[in-house]
Each structure stands twice: as structure tokens, then as C-alpha cells.
Structure 1
Amino acid sequence: MLGRRPAAGACCAAVVWLAAAPACTTKVRRFGEDGAGGGAGGATASAGEGGSTASGGGSTASGGGSTASGGPCDPGTQDGCYSGGRDTLNRGVCRGGVRTCDEDGNGYGPCVGEVLPASERCDTAEDEDCDGVVNQGCTYARCADVPPGQPSGVVLLDLDGTGPEPELPVYCDLTTDGGGWALVYNSVGSDAGATLPFWNIPYAERLATRGEPAISQNYYRGSLYFVGREYRDEIEDIEGTAKTVMRATAEGIDSATMKLLRPAHVSGNADIYVSQFLSGWSSQDRDADPDPGNCALQNQNVTQHYAQCWEYNLGADGDEPRDDGGWGPHLGTHLAERLGLASDDTRFTRVRRISRWTRW
């Protein structure tokens, strides 16, 4: 509710958020502090004789803040102000300012120092339109183009940069090893048993997307193999320690065999590189790995890159029986020990997470 102007003949005092009533003590508040700048009742000034009160008198609120009203005020007194919408104040970059009563006491000058909502920019990590979401609606060609300072999370990527192809929501790791990593797949251990069937990916869906892009959920986006050039595999053990276990490069992928083109080992465990990156791709209905048998069929229909057959598996246990309740990701315990990761005292230990990242 807007405040009332003082009664005729009443003298004026310094305002709090809105104009106040007859001669009292001066008190200045910043807008938005201790109730200043609120709605009706946000600040009151007691009157002299007669006992009347003015609740935010002598000023108008426009869009959730105060503006110069032309009403009477004490020269030189100041008041907090904000001319943007109330729901944007102190959100994102938006901040209130201060306005000063003119030397004749006729009204307030401009709101100095306020920062109002502006068009969202995609080259900063700021919320310029003050809607509570950083870079909303922005798209990038790769995770590495996201401006520094933005936290890791889901980003919209336009992989070919041509549009109007729908933007792809991709989870970007913006901190590890310089950032710029896009999540290719993520297998998350769970006693609920949902992980094992998730990785039964038929050949026809080898380049499709499964799940939602999140580091806490099972996720697969095969199309990223087309653009990826650097890769790293990351494993989080059952005690929560996460390590990069393998780094490699490639120049795309053969979409028929799912073999990576011109792969090269960069660092980390060579056995993981051979078994889970250099080798072909196997699903229960299409076997293109170098092993004589079908590794996917031998391991509970789990589709992934295999060699002899695996050093880690995204869904099946290597111990008999291969299905240990559908937990999901497992790592050979001999590798866990070599990598400094914890094990569950079986030959093929459960792990919390196996993730593959790429950047280009």
C-alpha cells in the first residue's frame, strides 16, 4: 500500500524508506534493510502533537521500489530506493540505491547506485536479469565455452552450432583439470537394482540418450562420441573416494561398430584403456568386440566397450552369480588396489560410480 502525505501545515522530518511525518529525529535506512522499502507498514514515523502517524508517507512505490514523488522532505536527507520489481531486489546482480532530498525540500533526486535487471548475457557467470537462474536460455558449442565462475551442472549445447537443431542438455564438469568436460555416461550403484537393466542398450539405441544428465543418476549420451576428442574415466569407490583412472584421445567414432577412431592412451591404467576404450562395442544383439564370445551376453546383457571381457563393468558383477542384486558398477579388485581405491573384499568390487567424460 502507498504511504500518505502529511497533513496540511505539518512540518517534515527525514524519511526512513518512504517520507515521514512532522519534525522528529533523523533516521536513514538502506532499502531492503530491517524492513525498509517494504510494503505498507514497512516503516513508520511518529507525528508530533495530535498523535497521527504516516506510514511511508510522501513517496510512491513503482515496481517494488521508491521513486521521486515531488513530495515534501528535509533537504539533504537520504532514503533507500529501488525502481525494479520487488522480486528482483537482491537477487542476481540487482541491488538497491540511495536517493537524496533536494536543497529546497521539494522532493527526491534520482536513485543513485541501484542496479536494475538487464538482458541476460551468456559470456558471464552473473544473473543479469535477476530471475534467480544464471545464463538461462544460453547455449554453447561445448562445455569449455561456459564462462568461468559458473558451477558444474546441466548446460544446453548446440553441438553443430547451426541450429535450429534442439539444444542438448549436457552435464558439464567445469572444474576438474581445467574444466570443459561433458558427461558421456554415468553408472551409479544402487541397492534398488535399477542400474543393471539400464545398461541393457540394444544396438539400435547405441547413439541415443538414456536418463537425465546428472552426476547422481544413471545416464548415457552416445552421440557425444562424434564430437569428443579427449576422454577421461573416473571411478568413485564404495567409501566415496573418486579418481581419474584413465585418460585417452580419439577422433570420433565409427557409428556402425562403435569403435573409436584413432584412439591413443594418454595416461592412467593401460588395462582399462585396452578393455574399455580401445576395444569394440558389444550389446546382446550386436557383438563387435575382439573377444571370441559376446561379452554383453556373458555379463547380464550390459552394453559397453569390451575386450577380454572387462576390467570394469557398468552393470554386472564378475563374481558368480553375475547378478548381485542389480547393484550396478563393478571394478576388478586387483585394479582397485593398484589405484588406491577401496574394495568390498570380493574379486570384483562394487563401486559407487563409473563416469566417462569428454571434451573437444
Structure 2
Amino acid sequence: MSGNASAGEPCGPGSTSESCAIPAGGDCDEATGCYASCLDAHQRSPALPSGAYTIDIDGPGGLDPVQVYCDMVTDGGGWTRFWWSLDDSGDVSLDPLGEDLWSCDPTGSRCFGKIPLEVRPADFMVKDVNEGHWAAWHFDETNPVSSAALGAMRNHELACALDTGVDWMPYATNDDSGEKWCGVGSEEGGCDSFQYQHDGSCIEWKTGGWGLELDGDGGCYAAALKVSVGQEAFLPECGGPDNNFLDDGPTDGDDRSGELYYR
């Protein structure tokens, strides 16, 4: 899964190459250049496939280039993956945003990464890897839930924005499963709650441990995103681990591997 540029071929801004993404593992320097993001690569070469690419977020001379996975298909493509958990991790002792892209292996099973500080993303996407569902949001600085989510996922800021009364709704989703997570279905309502905490200070019945959540009420299940919220962190009323992506409950266990993207 990599770009198709041959070794030594000029790549990056200004290139006239038919395929100008540097393959994962390739070198990026002032001579060859690198794309700034998956969106940059997609806009310059729309036929590029999804896969692992090397990008240079702030250009030559700043941060090191980094290997990332790019989704070049979903909702028009150009998505950069910054977070993934493919092994059903629910360890509440781990900070769910405690890593960064430079410390992660894009072929590994887990990265609790963040959106780089140098990036000003327009869109956010959650993927339920098990069932192939996705939902996408536009970041909106006037929306308190969106602001809390971006502050946590990029700036590593703790957040407790519960029941704000202002919905942050996905602008697109392919989830036609009937599951009633926030943003779809009348039972849960809109996504008006976001929390990123390391103790029980945000949700009164949460007993401890890290939690990252985009939800409609801060209660059990039925959330767009819940991470590192294992059974030991909640009172027994939840009935089991609450670690889900675009999921309405604990019964099927099919929504516990997920990925997060920015664009």
C-alpha cells in the first residue's frame, strides 16, 4: 500500500509527474519534496489509491516527514488517518490521545494519535472498521461540541462539554444499519456532548480512567465515538465494555475497532 512514484522521481508541489506521491519508506527532502497531507496528494493526483504515504506537514526544514495511511476514496477522498485501534483495546489506563503520528507505525494495530498542531483541518471522520460504516463532520468553531473535539484531538486539551443543547451533526454517513448512535435515529438525538477526561470529573457516574467520547448524552452506548471506556471505568449499569464506533449498544460487539481521520 504505497504511492507509485519510482525511486528518485521528483515529487511534491510543482511536480508534473503522473503519480507524484512518495512511497512509504521513501526519502523526502528539498529536492524531491513531499505532499503536505493526503488531501494535497489527492488533489494533485486524483487517481492515487488508498494506502500508506509519506507526507511533510510543514514543508522542508521543520517537522520530519511522517508515514501515514490515506483514504483516497471515502466521501471524495483525501483523508489522513491519525488514530486507530484494531485490537478492541479498552484499557482505561492509557491516554487515548497520548501518542502522535511520528511515534506510530501505520501498519500497526493501534495508534492513539492526535491531529498535528500544525494542521488546520476542515473535516473529521469516524470509521467503524468491523462493519465498514463511516460518518463525517465539518469542524465548526462556533459549535461548542466541535470546538471541544478539535481542542482535544489536536491540542490535547481536556474537555467536558456534556448536554450542550447544540448538536454537532455529521454531514454525511453510509450507516444504514439502523443503529441509533448520536447523529442518526430519533432515540439518541444529535451529538451534543463531547468529553475527554482522565478521571470521573466529567460524568458523575464514571468511576475513573481515561475516556474519549462523542455522544448525545454522556450515557451508556449509542455514541459516534467511545474510546478507552472499559467496564472498570463505569458503574455496572452499562452492562459491559463501552468502547464503540458508530454503535448503539454492547450486544453485538461488532463495532469496537475504529479509525479517526482528518481532512
Could you say which TM-score interval applies, normalised by the shorter chain? 0.5 to 0.7
**Within 2, Cα distance between the matches of 1:119 and 1:143?**
19
Task: Tell me if structure 1 keeps the 8 A contact 2:197–2:210.
Answer: yes
Q: Does the C-alpha gap of structure 1 residues 133 and 207 become closer, same or farther in structure 2, counting only changes over 3 Å?
A: closer
> Are 2:53 and 1:142 aligned?
no
Task: Tell me if structure 2 keeps the 8 A contact 1:208–1:223.
Answer: no
CA RMSD of aligned residues (A): 4.5
**Which residues in structure 2 correspond to 1:264-303 (within 5 Å)?**
264-265=168-169, 266-268=171-173, 271-273=181-183, 278-285=192-199, 287=201, 289=202, 291-294=203-206, 297=208, 301-303=209-211
**Which residues in structure 2 correspond to 1:78-97 (within 5 Å)?**
none
Amino acid at match of 2:100: T
Correspondent of 2:138 among 249, 254, 259: 249
* TM-score normalised by L of structure 1: 0.45
Amino acid at match of 1:250: F
Match of 1:347 in 2: 251
Pairwise CA distance, 1:352: 5.3
Match of 1:151 in 2: 49
Deviation string 1:242-266 (CA, Å, 9 cap, x unpaired) is 111x321114633434479x98422
Match of 1:209 in 2: 100
**Within 2, Cα distance between the matches of 1:164 and 1:218?**
26
* TM-score normalised by L of structure 2: 0.59
Higher mean alpha-carbon deviation, 215-224 vs 165-174, is at: 215-224
**Within 2, Cα distance between the matches of 1:142 and 1:93?**
16
**Within 2, Cα distance between the matches of 1:311 and 1:169?**
33
Q: Runs of 4+ in structure 1 displaced over 6 angstroms?
A: 132-135, 274-277, 321-324
**Which residues in structure 2 correspond to 1:1-360 (within 5 Å)?**
119-122=9-12, 123=15, 124=17, 126=19, 136-137=27-28, 138-146=33-41, 147-161=45-59, 163-189=61-87, 195-197=89-91, 200-201=94-95, 206=97, 208-209=99-100, 212-214=104-106, 217-224=109-116, 227-237=120-130, 241-244=131-134, 246-251=135-140, 253-254=150-151, 255=155, 256-258=157-159, 264-265=168-169, 266-268=171-173, 271-273=181-183, 278-285=192-199, 287=201, 289=202, 291-294=203-206, 297=208, 301-306=209-214, 307-309=217-219, 310-312=221-223, 313-315=226-228, 316=230, 329-330=243-244, 335=248, 347=251, 349-351=253-255, 353-359=257-263
**Within 2, Cα distance between the matches of 1:173 and 1:141?**
15
Q: Based on CA coordinates, which of the two structures has the bigger radius of gyration?
A: 1
Q: Does the C-alpha gap of structure 1 residues 348 and 215 become closer, same or farther in structure 2, counting only changes over 3 Å?
A: farther
Aligned residues: 214
Amino acid at match of 1:356: L
Deviation string 1:278-325 (CA, Å, 9 cap, x unpaired) is 5333332484x4x33447x2xxx343125423435334368959897x
Deviation string 1:40-82 (CA, Å, 9 cap, x unpaired) is xxxxxxxxxxxxxxxxxxxxxxxxxxxxxxxxxxxxxxxxxxx
**Within 2, Cα distance between the matches of 1:276 and 1:302?**
24
Q: Does the C-alpha gap of structure 1 residues 358 and 199 become closer, same or farther in structure 2, counting only changes over 3 Å?
A: farther
- The DSSP-based 3-state class of the residue aligned with 1:221 is coil
**Within 2, Cα distance between the matches of 1:128 and 1:304?**
33
Q: Does the C-alpha gap of structure 1 residues 127 and 142 become closer, same or farther in structure 2, counting only changes over 3 Å?
A: closer
Q: Which has the higher contact order (CA 8 A, sep 6+)?
A: 2
Task: Tell me if structure 2 keeps the 8 A contact 1:228–1:250.
Answer: yes
Q: Percent identity?
A: 13
Instruction: Show structure 2 runs of 5+ residues with no match.
Output: 141-146
Pairwise CA distance, 1:145: 1.3
Task: Tell me if structure 2 keeps the 8 A contact 1:275–1:311.
Answer: no
Pairwise CA distance, 1:233: 1.4
Pairwise CA distance, 1:230: 0.9
Amino acid at match of 1:148: P
Task: Tell me if structure 2 keeps the 8 A contact 1:277–1:305.
Answer: no
Instruction: Show structure 1 runs of 5+ residues with no match.
Output: 1-91, 95-116, 337-345
**Within 1, Cα distance between the matches of 2:75 and 2:98?**
27
